[in-house]
Homo-oligomer: A and B are copies of this chain.
Amino acid sequence: MSVVAKLDVRNLGDYIREQRSAAQISLRQLASLAGVSNPYLSQIERGLRKPSAEILQQIAKALRISAEALYVQAGILEERYGDSDVPAAILGDAYLAERQKQVLLELYEAYRRESEAKAGKTEPVDTKASPSSTSRTRTARRASPRGAEASDAARAEGNTATS
């Protein structure tokens, strides 16, 4: 079992403390804001404790930062690779049922393997690994095709329904 996912508590704590002082609030304030006890937050910041997912979320909320940022700091989530990552897009699609996602993913991976084989490359495609696998050789690691940032406006309708 790859022990890749060790929680990087130190970084996490530093990050939180950094964010907290950037926000100019005291440890106790943040603690009560986040709904945790101040000693505990203190310990988290110093890396003596690994906060649970819930706590992490509450802290993120209190700090007004994305929980994702915290998870990334904690080494729990990988950084977001924005490029056209098909698996990520599929997984992130709110309109697909889980089973459908599974099928699409499998088909996609099968295709990928197929292409790989044709190309004669020996490079193992390691379909299972974290999403990062898809971006290995690719040149453009950029954000997805259409600007991702403006999505605020697009929020409601998102993907058009069908039609």
Contact = CB atoms under 8 A, between A and B. Distances in A.
Binding site of A, secondary structure by majority: helix, strand, loop or mixed? loop
Contacts of A111: 96-97, 100, 103-104
Q: How many copies does the complex hold?
A: 2
Interface string A46-85: 0000111110111011101111110111101111111111
A43 interface: no
Interface of A: 1-2, 4-7, 15, 18-19, 22-25, 29, 33-35, 50-54, 56-58, 60-62, 64-69, 71-74, 76-100, 102-104, 107-108, 111-116, 125-132, 134, 136-146, 148-156, 158-162
B65 A145 contact: yes
A54 B76 contact: yes
Contacts of A143: 65-66, 68-69, 72-73, 141
